Structure 1
Amino acid sequence: MTAKKKGVAKIFVLDTNVLLHDHNCLYNFQDNDVIIPIVVLEELDKFKKGSDQINYQAREFVRIMDKLAGEKLFTDGVPLGPDKGRLFIATGKPYPKVMEESFAEDTPDHRILAITIHVTEIFKDRTVVLISKDINLRMKAKSLGLKAEDYETDKVKDIEVLHKGVENVENFDPAIIKRIYDHGSIPRNDFPMDKKQCPSNQYFVLKNGATSVLVWSDPFNNVIRRIEKENAFGIEPRNAEQTFSLHALLNPDIKLVSLSGKAGTGKTLLALAAALKQHNMYKQILLARPIVPLSNRDLGFLPGDVKEKVGPYMLPLFDNLAVIKNKFNQQSKEYQLIEDKLKREELIITPLAFIRGRSLSDVYFIVDEAQNLTPHEVKTIITRAGENTKIVFTGDIHQIDTPYLDMQSNGLAYLTDKMNGQDVFAHVNLVKGERSYLAELASNLL
């Protein structure tokens, strides 16, 4: 293997999970060289078939590799583009003694480590870094004296962005509070905060002593507007955050909403209630969530047909629908509307994978458990939005079930960070649990 810019450029060895996380990752290492261990290509083979996002990533990455290579050989390095490094494929290497003494099993992870050790020993004058989203593999690498890092490209630098959708302001100018009460709004220029402190669709609780008012930074009319509580299909907001959430969910000008917060704060319930209240505005209401099988086992191990396999994963969504239905008696028009929409498939509760390939025009689309999506998956969903479609992502970044995502790299955090301040986007972080005193106590203490 011949390498470029000896002593200057770094060498990055990529783990399989990096390629499955972002099929465009090869272009994110600047002018440094990239090595793909051949065992990674072997692992990619296992993921090429299927309809899940991970299968799509595997296929796209292989296509990128094929296009880059053309008639060239990877042994000589393939240029990644202008101002980029070169791409190499590293074949298998013998286990060094330290690995033989440390690991009894021959696994793909250990072969990747062996290749990283080999590259480090050959290029002593260059920095060699193993890039993996697997924390345990990074720990093994560091135990062997190797540099190892997470894939940082799509990580949110300031996780506090998820808590900035709502701000409580104490000792606020009482004269401005009175003006807002009297007139319903004030010009944006009369509000004592700049654009950075008060971006589009920011929500505030303005307080002065016993007086307070809920307001919204309205980007469409360039005013700070008062918000009053509004119920939706039998669901009434119980706190300021839920009031703000319903406002964003019911506002037709806000096409994209993210709701974060711990379990029991009402994220999914509010989104579904808002969708039902606006049922005449959309041809269909879709409520979906990604399936994360227990212990990373495929759904195939479960008994029954497809519906029986995915049923247990969809129960929380049906529970939210049941809460709304229980607000009405069975003869009421609201109850019958829900039943009719379910029968006509105008209200669908489904695994997210089953949405692939569907048109998202005239749809109110709610994506639950969005913290278990990658940034690329979130982008794929949003870019499918057609005319008159609203998309709502809900989730809790403290409850991530996939092994290669964390609080900073999940799709919900990434979306909120990148879209913050856009006119068509609003975010609310819900803090107070409303299920019960016991549920709130357990969430806070256990």
Structure 2
Amino acid sequence: MEKRKTYILDTNVLLQDPEAIFGFKENDVIIPAAVVEELDGKKRLQDELGRSARQASRLLDGLREKGFLHEGVPLPEGGNLRVELNHRDIAGFPEAFSTSGADNRILSVAFNLKRDEEERGDEGQPVIIVSNDVIVRIKADVLGIEAEEYRRDRVTENQERYMGFKEITLPAALIDCLYQDLVIDIEEIGLKSSCWYPNEFAILKDELGSSRSAVGQVSPDGRKLDLIPPATQPVWGVTPRNVQQKMALRLLLDDEIPLVTICGKAGTGKTLLTLASALHKTMDDQRYKKILVSKPVVPMGRDMGALPGELGEKLRPWMQPIYDNLEFLLGAKSDMMKDILEEYGTIQVEALSYIRGRSIPKQFIIIDEAQNLSKHEIKTIVSRVGEHSKIIVMGDPQQIDAPYLDETNNGLVYLVEKFKDQEIAGHVVLTKGERSRLAQLAADLL
């Protein structure tokens, strides 16, 4: 039987996942008083950090019904939670680490608890500090305290990430059959239907190495493979330049797939393909009333502060990539820009801050830079989608500017993993940059 452990949680863990206190099974969980103070300082923020601080505070308050927090209360899976005040005894604690700071006070709690457990000998429990702050983990190592990064909220490991397509080799005869019949049974070509997700793509290549190849799409029920025609008609002057862009365009133009997620590095064509498809579906097919575009307002580098003007003027710098792509699509028709944005209202740019409580029917919704959204925020956004609307959520999981988010726990990868087995959703990762050779090298090397 594995020995019971004592986990000490840093503030950033609770700000990242307020329910982390329930994630350590039958082990003991310690919340230092400094963490409670830091939560109190964050609770009034009107953002995701404030929401997490308030939720963590409510969970701790609910546990008070089971006993006194400073004495310890039982957790659902057999563990115990305690709010610890023991940071004042600094005997043996390095003078270089002043206990005036919250991080060092948290470390001093771990230091004292570790010393107490060591005095118990074989009956003592291992003490582990859990923090997403690299410096805290380094300091813990200096103090001889075991430290871990919080991993419970990770959606998936990088090597397991769903790509939206697979590359397989087959006899050339089976590839010819797909071209002839346009659709083929997955089981008939020796593949297990259980290994495929709805609307996933298959890149078929000749097992003998010839140039014969094909691209197919799995049917919503996961049993058939439909041929994607080699030639693709331009959409608002945009023709896919590689096979992944072709897959993305097919998902974007399919009215039976209301949720499409697209991941890719800078320059892979995410925004251009999506905007071209949106204009085609809205202005040409009139399938949707208008296009709604939004993105999280998270600055890269130093924030410029409050911007002057009305809401539209404030959002203009954040939405400039949309305007750049729109100018490219319109080309010689650049005089239509004002009509599309203002007079006809075809494209509406909005801040995500005002989306809560809305219902958005019959619109083509584009959420860009979604890697900077939390799980809670992505749920709030997707649950606003009304009848006959389509939502495109895209971003680059490797370019995250929001605090407490990384490649494994952000809202974009969370949405992809939760919806990959749903018939109404489709996903593809764009792997090849098409902006320029320099942009592709920068995305790969830097």
Q: Same fold (TM over 0.5)?
A: yes
Q: Does 1:45 align with 2:45?
A: no
**Equivalent in the alignment of 1:413:** 413
Choose which of 310, 316, 329 in structure 1 pairs with 2:333.
329
Q: 1:367 to 1:207 in 2, by over 3 A?
A: same
Equivalent of 1:117 in 111, 115, 123? 111
Give the corresponding residue for 2:87: 93
TM-score w.r.t. the length of structure 2 is 0.87
Gap regions ≥5 residues in structure 1: 1-6
* 2:247 corresponding residue in structure 1: 244
- Supply the distance in 2 between the matched residues of 1:309 and 1:121 (Cα, whole angstroms): 54
**2:298 counterpart (286, 292, 297):** 292
2:47 & 2:288 partners in 1: Cα distance? 27
Q: Distance in 2 between matches of 1:406 and 1:312?
A: 25
Call closer, same or farther: CA 1:268–1:282 in 2, change over 3 Å: same
Q: How does 1:28-177 map to 2 (within 5 A)?
A: 28-70=23-65, 72-81=67-76, 83-91=77-85, 93-94=87-88, 96=90, 99-104=93-98, 106-124=100-118, 125-162=124-161, 164-170=163-169, 172-177=170-175
Deviation, 1:203, is 0.9
Against the structure 1 CA distance between its residues 160 and 415, is the aligned structure 2 distance closer, same or farther, given a 3 Å change threshold?
A: farther
- Rounded Cα–Cα distance in structure 1 between residues aligned with 2:34 and 2:405: 22
**For 1:356, what is the secondary structure of its paired residue?**
coil
Q: Cα distance, 1:97 vs. partner?
A: 5.3
Count of paired positions: 432
Are residues 378 and 230 of structure 1, via their aligned partners in 2, closer, same or farther at CA, if it must alter by over 3 Å? farther
Say if 2:269 is the partner of 1:266: yes
Mapped contact 2:16–2:405 kept (Cα < 8 A)? no
Residue pair 2:245, 2:430 contacting (<8 A) in 1 also: yes
Counterpart in 2 of 1:211?
A: 212
Q: CA deviation at 1:240?
A: 0.6
Task: Compare 241-250 and 127-136 and name the one that shifted more.
Answer: 127-136
Q: Does 1:17 align with 2:23?
A: no
What is the alpha-carbon distance in structure 2 between the residues aligned to residue 344 and residue 18 of structure 1? 47
Task: Write the letter of the residue equivalent to 2:254.
Answer: N
CA distance in 2, matches of 1:24, 1:36: 13
Deviations 1:104-155 (A, max 9, x none): 5732111111112122223331122222222222222222211221221121
Q: Distance in 2 between matches of 1:30 and 1:365?
A: 40
| 1:403 CA displacement | 4.1
Structure 1 residue 421: Cα displacement: 2.9
- Cα deviation, residue 27, structure 1: 2.0
Coordinate RMSD, CA, aligned: 2.8
Aligned to 1:313: 318
Partner secondary structure for residue 268 of structure 2: coil
Change (3 A) 1:68 1:105: closer
Q: In 2, Cα distance between the equivalents of 1:398 and 1:92?
A: 40
Question: How far apart, CA to CA, are the structure 2 residues paired with 1:158 and 1:71?
Answer: 36
2:288 is matched with 282
Q: Distance between the aligned counterparts of 1:317 and 1:309, measured in 2?
A: 15
Counterpart of 1:177, as a letter, is I
TM-score by length of 1: 0.87
Correspondence for 1:179 among 160, 177, 195: 177
Partner amino acid, structure 2, of 1:188: I
- Name which of 297, 301, 304 aligns with 2:308: 304
Q: Would you say 1:372 and 2:376 are equivalent positions?
A: no
Q: Once the two structures are superposed, what CA deviation does each residue of 1:211-243 show, in whole Å capped at 9, x if it has no partner?
A: 222210112483210113243333221111000
CA drift of 1:306 comes to 6.7
CA distance in 2: counterparts of 1:215 and 1:135, whole angstroms: 45
Aligned counterparts of 2:301 and 2:440: Cα–Cα separation in 1: 27
- Residues 161-206 of structure 1: CA deviation (Å, up to 9, x unaligned): 4363222334x22222222212221123323211354332221222
Please say if 1:424 is aligned against 2:424: yes
Residues 314 and 350 in structure 1, CA contact (< 8 A), matched pair in contact too: no
CA distance in 2, matches of 1:92, 1:294: 39
C-alpha distance in 1 between matches for 2:418 and 2:259 = 12
Letter in structure 1 aligned against 2:105:
R
Letter in 1 for 2:265: K
Q: Distance in 1 between matches of 2:280 and 2:91?
A: 67
Q: Would the aligned equivalents of 2:187 and 2:193 in 1 still touch at CA under 8 Å? A: no
Q: 1:167 to 1:294 in 2, by over 3 A?
A: closer
Q: Do 1:29 and 1:84's aligned partners in 2 also have CA atoms closer than 8 Å?
A: no
Counterparts of 1:222-237 in structure 2, within 5 Å, are 222-228=223-229, 229-237=232-240
| Aligned match of 2:121 | none
Judge conservation of contact 1:162–1:429 (CA < 8 Å) in 2: no
Moved more, 47-56 or 138-147: 47-56
* Secondary structure of the structure 1 residue equivalent to 2:366: strand
Task: Name the SS of the counterpart of 2:407 in structure 1.
Answer: coil
Give the deviation of 1:325 after TM superposition.
2.7
Query: In the aligned structure 1, how far is the partner of 2:99 from the partner of 2:72?
Result: 31
Q: Are the structure 2 counterparts of residues 312 and 142 from structure 1 closer, same or farther at C-alpha, using a change threshold of 3 Å?
A: farther
- State whether residues 162 and 416 of structure 1, in contact with CA within 8 Å, keep that contact through their aligned partners in structure 2: no
Tell me, which stretches of 5 or more residues in structure 2 are unaligned?
Answer: 119-123
CA contact (8 A) 1:185 1:223 kept: yes
Moved more, 94-103 or 183-192: 94-103
The 2-side partners of 1:289 and 1:98 are apart by 50
Q: CA deviation at 1:419?
A: 2.9
Q: Retained in 2: the 8 A contact 1:134–1:404?
A: no
1:348-363 equivalence runs, <5 A: 348-363=348-363
SS in 2 for 1:42: helix
SS at match of 1:214: strand
Mapped pair 1:256 → 2:259: yes
Deviations 1:373-404 (A, max 9, x none): 23333233333433333332212222222342
Matching residue of 2:347 = 347
Cα deviation 1:15-37 (Å, max 9, x = unaligned): 12221212222222212222222
